[in-house]
Structure 1
């Protein structure tokens, strides 16, 4: 058993970060000069484990677990690896409530099947989409914290394509619809029901979304990319706030 010390600032699964300040102490089984077995990292103040990283002949292989340093034994993220690649389910849980916030499956490092995100307080579904051959494909749904539909759109090869519909969560009626092509919005179209948006509200929605993008880059750095699903989720959150006001 060899003892090593690491300076670890953050750990990342998908688009979510969990910051850990200070140094971590890691106990790593070493065989023939390479990690082999479960490396367990904990805070130097004697707290419980923060990371459990499975190695097989120097390559991550098995269930990778991130634990809540403030709640002993509480998993806040987990992912399955095979020969160094994500291969199987990955999940993220709220450190505050313990509720699942994110789930996605992988095959040899490529996302497959459904991606789902949940509200950390209500447990309601907030976002749902599907991956095909590593890219988002088909219908994408966004919901408010109570699980009410806010937006529905089509995605092709990871880009918005076709009609994007936004809904009033209280009535379920369409309040705005916009045509998209290869990830770019086309001219807005009037909804079949009364369109409750106005140019002023559209400007507020854009300003709110831009503010969330700016806050993300301020926290993570300008080089950190904003994915399509992150942007759609922020738009949905801003739309819900606009409707509520």
Structure 2
């Protein structure tokens, strides 16, 4: 009797299953057959959100969420300290996602290289990132980080690995998005500390320090009490280790002098010479230095300005003398010539280069050198007149002759 009933019911059950499958459709589809409407996945042309597995989903489709930015920032920022210059991500990631009524729900995996290399593994709970988020170094299948979240917020133990050594460069615990213990990041190559953020009773308290050059050079340090700056803060130049600035905080407010290092006006490089850039009292500025105070004096420019001042005085003196003699010396060419002669005289008189000894073996002082050159100028004027231009090359030649002790 039972066998007769089974035989009679079998066709009906098969028909019912076929009708059910036809109504629901297959539970797997390619992304090219999907569409996203108001944040939910649909099979193209369908009225109801899709439930099941979707293959070959471009990663940017699901990784544009705000919580992903928060989670991915952790390994990125850590490795920028522990392994500077590392490549973080590659293009062309595709994902296999699971959705429930159009919403991400369950495990999502992303790969590159036609599925050969893992990129990410994550879990969603009704559209919210939660649980473990695993990162892999591009094109290696080597673990990069395991970040734990609770509905989009950092929560639990997170670990970041070095790309070369494979050892932990960060092992820290978060509680609802905040550090729950002291954070320490170590250099991947040397194993030395590169950053420490101390935490006590759930708040940042103590001395924050950062090092560069594989942990061998101090870059930054500051003192904090319960998350508020309190005490010394200073930063150094990454390349040279020279102090960049030093300032003091009193419960979150600047107080006292802010010291900064000066810069070379030609190269803009920071040099080891400090000045008071600002002065604070209870968080308010009571003094601010002139921007020019932040640079070393341009000695060459200062010297040239001084020479030009002497040249102007020389020109005036000679023009006054010529005017007294009743000689017309006011045309542009003559003035330019006079300026050139005065500039040459000033340079010779202020030159720090010792004068060469003449043939007599006696030292040639700047005054004697100028007298020698002036004698040649007078001789030139007698022969060619006042309107003839004396070139700078001619003046230099006369100076060389005077230094060598040659007679005119």
TM value normalised by structure 2: 0.39
Pair 1:127-2:187 in alignment: no
More helix per residue: 2
Q: CA deviation at 1:85?
A: 1.8
Pair 1:203-2:263 in alignment: no
Q: Which position in structure 1 is the counterpart of 2:180?
A: 112
| Contact 1:93-1:101 at 8 Å conserved across structures | yes
Q: Which position in structure 1 is the counterpart of 2:230?
A: 161
Q: Which position in structure 2 is the counterpart of 1:77?
A: 145
Q: Give the aligned length.
A: 191
Higher relative contact order (CA 8 A, sep 6+): 1
Gaps of 5+ in 1: 168-174, 190-196, 207-245
Q: Which position in structure 1 is the counterpart of 2:73?
A: 13
- Bigger radius of gyration: 2
Aligned partner (choices 114, 129, 133) of residue 45 of structure 1: 114
| Contact 1:39-1:53 at 8 Å conserved across structures | yes
Determine the C-alpha separation between the residues in 2 that align with 1:183 and 1:99.
40
Q: Stretches of 4+ moved more than 6 A in 1?
A: none
Local SS of the residue matching 1:104: strand
| Contact 1:160-1:184 at 8 Å conserved across structures | no
| Contact 1:159-1:183 at 8 Å conserved across structures | no
Q: CA deviation at 1:164?
A: 4.5
Q: Measured at CA, do residues 111 and 22 of structure 1 come closer, stay the same or move farther in structure 2, by a change above 3 Å? A: same
Determine the C-alpha separation between the residues in 2 that align with 1:141 and 1:99.
22
Q: Which position in structure 1 is the counterpart of 2:97?
A: 28
Q: Measured at CA, do residues 199 and 87 of structure 1 come closer, stay the same or move farther in structure 2, by a change above 3 Å? A: same
Please report the RMSD computed on the Cα atoms of aligned residues, expressed in angstroms: 3.8
Local SS of the residue matching 1:139: strand
Q: Which position in structure 2 is the counterpart of 1:138?
A: 206
| Contact 1:7-1:22 at 8 Å conserved across structures | no
Local SS of the residue matching 1:161: strand
Determine the C-alpha separation between the residues in 2 that align with 1:68 and 1:93.
10
Determine the C-alpha separation between the residues in 2 that align with 1:146 and 1:25.
35
Q: Measured at CA, do residues 137 and 3 of structure 1 come closer, stay the same or move farther in structure 2, by a change above 3 Å? A: same
Q: Measured at CA, do residues 176 and 32 of structure 1 come closer, stay the same or move farther in structure 2, by a change above 3 Å? A: closer
Gaps of 5+ in 2: 1-52, 81-86, 237-242, 274-408
TM value normalised by structure 1: 0.61
